[in-house]
Chain A
Amino acid sequence: MSETETEVVAAHRDPVVIDASIRALAGLRELLPSLVGALLLTDDGFEIARATQHGGTDERLASMASSLQALGEAIARELGLGDSEYALIEAHHGRVLLRRIANQPIILAGVFDDDETVGKAISVSRKLADELSAELASAR
């Protein structure tokens, strides 16, 4: 590698990204008591950081979140709807929210129990995404 080249480190192996992600998820957990678990993951499904509240999340959540986010973005693209902001799965006993971190190959996946209002989960996750995006942009 020449002196002018910069080695690109994958997000899930980048200490700066991992540290910022851990702090962001800790903040999310404080603001959302109903959070069952949350992950920050790479676009291709590698876990960067994890926060769990009540005993953990499925080990395969990162892969599944990666697939679902990509499918959601493909649908929005096919229909000419522009960039997709977030995807929400409503289940009987909780909900899963996926949100892209703007300008980063990173996705937030949050699992909430049914005590949380949808609006609060959406707004708090948006705040996390905006702040993490800004922090990672300024770190580069």
Chain B
Amino acid sequence: MAEYVILFAGPMGAGKTTAIRSLSEIEVVSTEAANSEPGAVDKPTTTVAMDYGEIDLDPDMVRLYGIPGQERFDFMWDILRERAMGLIVLVNADDPEPERHVHEQLTAFAELATRGGVVVGVTRYDIQRTDIGDRIVATARAVLPDRVTPVFAVDARDQEQMRTLLLSLIADIETRHALAAAP
């Protein structure tokens, strides 16, 4: 049995908490606080420490950690990054600067993406159908030129879509470990 620690990163409002709630088989441990800056992102609460959920992919156990999107909480990124084996970056298609967010997150977690696995999920793609997929792929390639970074259009509320994203990440992690172990 393997145990996977997966981080959900991305800007505030990208759907990290929603995604973990969609996936988790236990009640999610959340650290939501009232959002003092609703002008920046229009949502009543924001994660200030982490979200935590679990999913049993028999025989493997997956631990899901959502990290705060705001940079002022980047000490939590450092704490959780060390244990993590994989990274899911979520970004809104209707965000004014989705490529910048993907660039920042992949840069901040480049070591994890290289050591483990990484996928990018683009949420609200149905609202903002543009060439954003191609732009995100190009951004990921620019930050991580030595690896292919899968990019998915996902609905964070949809358990099946999020499960596909997660299984893709775990397959990526296992493939890279197998290749690294090969003589």
Question: Which candidate, B71-79, B124-132, B153-161, is the interface stretch facing chain A?
Answer: B71-79
Q: Verify B34–A105 contact, CB threshold 8 A.
A: yes
A62 to B34 Cα, complex, angstroms = 15
Q: Contacts A44-B46, A60-B72, A60-B75 known; A105 to B33 CB distance under 8 Å?
A: yes
Q: Verify B29–A44 contact, CB threshold 8 A.
A: no
Chain A residue numbers with a CB within 8 Å of B49 are 66-68, 70-71, 74
Question: At the interface, yes or no: A112 with Cβ under 8 Å from chain B?
Answer: no
B120 to chain A, nearest CB (A): 25
Question: At the interface, yes or no: A42 with Cβ under 8 Å from chain B?
Answer: yes
Question: At the interface, yes or no: A134 with Cβ under 8 Å from chain B?
Answer: no
Q: Verify A70–B48 contact, CB threshold 8 A.
A: yes
A62 to B32 Cα, complex, angstroms = 16
Question: At the interface, yes or no: B107 with Cβ under 8 Å from chain A?
Answer: no
Chain A residue numbers with a CB within 8 Å of B29 are 74, 78
Q: Which of these, A60, A64, A70, A78, contacts B33 with CB under 8 Å?
A: A70
A10 to B31 Cα, complex, angstroms = 19
B13 to chain A, nearest CB (A): 13
Q: Contacts A66-B48, A67-B49 known; A44 to B75 CB distance under 8 Å?
A: no
Q: Verify B34–A74 contact, CB threshold 8 A.
A: no
Q: Which of these, A42, A60, A63, A71, contacts B34 with CB under 8 Å?
A: A42
Q: Contacts A12-B36, A70-B48, A70-B49 known; A45 to B73 CB distance under 8 Å?
A: yes
Most buried by B among A10, A46, A62: A10
8 Å CB contacts to A: which residues of B45-72? 46, 48-50, 68, 70, 72
Q: Scan A35-51; emit 1 where CB is below 8 A from any B CB, else 0.
A: 00000001111100000
Q: Which of these, A62, A70, A105, contacts B31 with CB under 8 Å?
A: A70
Q: Verify A67–B73 contact, CB threshold 8 A.
A: yes
Q: Contacts A43-B48, A70-B48 known; A63 to B75 CB distance under 8 Å?
A: yes
Pairs A–B under 8 Å by Cβ, sample size 14: A12-B36, A42-B33, A43-B33, A43-B34, A44-B33, A44-B36, A44-B37, A45-B48, A60-B75, A67-B48, A67-B73, A67-B76, A70-B31, A70-B33
* 9 more A-B residue pairs beyond the given contacts A43-B36, A44-B37, A45-B70, with a C-beta to C-beta distance below 8 A: A44-B34, A45-B72, A63-B75, A66-B49, A67-B31, A67-B73, A68-B49, A70-B49, A73-B31
